[in-house]
Amino acid sequence: MPDSDAQRPPPGETYLRELEEQLLAEFSERNARIERLRRLRHMETPVDIPPAYRSSAREVRTPLAREQLKRVIGSLTANRPLVHVPPAEPTEAARAGADLRARWTNAALRRMDSEATRDVFGMLIDAMVADGAGVLKLLYAPDRWAGYPRRSTDADESAETFLQRAERFKKSARFPLTWRDVDITTFYPLEGEDGLEACLEIAERPRHLVQRRYGLITDKRSGRLVPAGGDTQSMDQSASPPEAPNAVPRATARVVEYWDDEYFAYLVDGHLVRRGRHGYGAIPYVHAYGDQTPSRDPAKAGVSMLASMEYLVPLLDQLLTMKQNALFLYAYPTPKITNFSPIDPSLNNDGRPRALDFRPGEILPLYQGEDLTFLQWQGTPPDLDELIAQTRAMIDQAGAPSVLFGIPPDGNASGYLLNQLINTARVSFQQIARHAEQALERVVQLMWRLVETRIGETVFVFEAEDDHGWIGLGPQDIDGYHAVRVRLDPLGPADDVAQGTLAASLVNARLASRRWAMREKLGIEDAETVEDEILVDELIDAPEIRTAIAREALAQAGLRPTPATEATNVGA
């Protein structure tokens, strides 16, 4: 069978420009919708107020969208994701290797977050909830090991000494893998029958950084970056209209990244600056939908949590603005003059009465027969309170229920009922949690593949729970086995206590095994290891074991227990 990947040519500059133009048009509606919802989240959607009332109306913008997102995202990220590696074989060595990989991976994810100075996983969940989809990018950063020590030519340095120097360097250097969250509006996937097959990332980045990284110069005619000695007329004029001669250099540069499972390519301001094989064996992007729908339309495939409130929150803002304006006009009414005569000297040339300079608390002189009153609503006013309550109830049903805010539905509910309502409300976000777990599983598999094929040697991370602090993972520990499970537990501490109590009751009643209770109710993936640790603790607490430990301690201290002491220990 022919090797199609080996015969596939790298992407050319013309192909990349055409692909960019096509994807920008295809995903324009998606980006427009996300931008609308982001304005709603940040309370940037203006309230529609008639021009005549803008001087008196005070605009009201409620933070409901932002606060509901905050609580849902907080619930999903309350606990860090836990990585579990199922053993490849039912042997003690396989179990120990799986435990090592799981502990190394959990520590590596924490270290990448620390070096990124950003909660990358939290940003993924935020995008999946608020934008409908999130993207992670994982790359191998060989520059972080640029000062890797070389083997000394001195014959006195042994291989063991060199390996010790190399190990110290790797522990003190930055982590060779880096990840970051990608703005979904800059990510353009090409999906086929097997999922993500290629993608573009199109973003504006600081011009000076891009210019230095790729060795570009600034074209004085357009203000854009071009290759040194390159043809500035080869730019895509349809996507980038020409500027005036001697234009001011732009503060940013347009960078287009192309990635598939074999090649990568970079375009800067329409020019191909770098291209080649990356050797990752997979696309270094992970694209995860939040609330996914069957639609193939990019604008509808992933639905934001705010989509159901896109029109309700602005409606509530408008109603509250109307309510506020009605109260303002009621508290500060507008005066008017009645019972004036057509021949009254106070009339202006157009037949209208004179303009009043009304100042509260001051005497206003009137002509004979004039009457000063105030404009007031006539008849029964509309029930704004009822409409506001109905809109608020619809928002509560469409978004995160108020019970997640700690507010009982009827103002008074028992703790048990409140917990049940909270758990029921969280069920609607289980799809997002499941998709986040699958995304992290793909990230972990790519991490292992990079350690095995690109780095090619042991990578160390610090784990406080380990006896020695540092743990290492190398190609020999992975050996082509990439099975992994990631668990995301969105429950809070009170829910953990309830689950633990239920698990203990089931085990004591002999309705479930301890391993089942650990896995299903407590979220402990490696239940066998925990059971072994429990057995060790029980053995240590046994009287005969404690007596043997005490006898051994006394012997090591050079002391011998008296027969009375021995008899007492045995009796105990």
- In the chain, the amino acid numbered 525 is E
User: Of 375, 397, 430, which marks where a domain is finished?
Assistant: 375
Query: pLDDT tens digit string along 265-290?
Result: 999 999 999 999 999 989 999 999 99
SS3 category, 274: strand
Q: What pLDDT score does 92 carry? A: 86
Q: Which residues pair with 371 in a beta bridge?
A: 338
> Residue 320, class by beta-carbon neighbours within 10 Å (0-12 exposed, 13-18 middle, 19+ buried)?
buried
Does 452 reside within a domain? no
> Residue 572, class by beta-carbon neighbours within 10 Å (0-12 exposed, 13-18 middle, 19+ buried)?
exposed
Q: Which residues pair with 5 in a beta bridge?
A: none
Does 129 reside within a domain? no
Helical (H) or strand (E) element with 501:
helix 493-508
Structure-block tokens of residue 286 = 């992970």
Q: What pLDDT score does 468 carry? A: 65
Q: What pLDDT score does 233 carry? A: 45
Q: What pLDDT score does 355 carry? A: 66
Does 284 reside within a domain? no
Highest mean pLDDT among 59-68, 495-504, 510-519, 536-545: 59-68
Structure-block tokens of residue 303 = 């639905």
pLDDT band at 443 (very low <50, low <70, confident <90, very high): very high
Mean pLDDT to the nearest integer, 520-533: 70
Structure-block tokens of residue 565 = 């002491």
Query: pLDDT tens digit string along 291-345?
Result: 888 988 988 999 999 998 899 999 999 999 988 888 887 787 777 767 655 555 5
Select from 179, 225, 249, 236 the least CA-distant residue to 447: 179
Q: What pLDDT score does 240 carry? A: 47
Full domain range(s) for residue 507: 493-528
SS3 category, 347: strand
User: Of 154, 175, 196, which marks where a domain is finished?
Assistant: 175
- Number of domains present in the structure of the chain: 4
Please provide the average confidence, as pLDDT, over all residues in the chain.
81
Structure-block tokens of residue 416 = 């048990």
353 DSSP assignment: B
Q: What is the four-CA torsion angle of 484, 486, 487, 488, rounded to 10 degrees?
A: -170
Does 501 reside within a domain? yes
- In the chain, the amino acid numbered 126 is D
pLDDT greater than 60 at residue 194: yes
Does 348 reside within a domain? yes
- The alpha helices in 332-463, defined as continuous H runs, are 384-398, 415-427, 430-450
Highest mean pLDDT among 243-247, 317-321, 506-510: 317-321
Verify that 338 and 371 share a domain, yes or no.
Answer: yes
SS3 labels along 55-69: CCCCCCCCCHHHHHH
Does 306 reside within a domain? no
What span, in angstroms and rounded, lies between the C-alpha atoms of 267 and 271? 5
pLDDT band at 450 (very low <50, low <70, confident <90, very high): very high
Helical (H) or strand (E) element with 97:
helix 92-116
Does 444 reside within a domain? no
Highest mean pLDDT among 147-156, 282-291, 367-376, 515-524: 282-291
Which of 99-108, 291-300, 492-501 is predicted least confidently?
492-501
Query: pLDDT tens digit string along 10-61?
Result: 999 999 999 999 999 999 999 999 999 999 999 999 998 888 788 778 889 9
Mean pLDDT to the nearest integer, 521-528: 68
Q: What pLDDT score does 239 carry? A: 42
**Cα distances (angstroms) measured from residue 515 to each of 22, 96, 236, 504, 532:** 53, 18, 62, 12, 11
Query: pLDDT tens digit string along 106-134?
Result: 999 999 988 988 899 999 999 999 999 99
pLDDT greater than 60 at residue 458: yes
Query: pLDDT tens digit string along 463-490?
Result: 866 556 899 999 999 988 999 999 887 7
User: Of 325, 342, 375, which marks where a domain is finished?
Assistant: 375
pLDDT greater than 70 at residue 231: no
SS3 category, 329: helix
pLDDT greater than 50 at residue 168: yes
Q: What pLDDT score does 234 carry? A: 44
Does 569 reside within a domain? yes
Mean pLDDT to the nearest integer, 368-393: 76
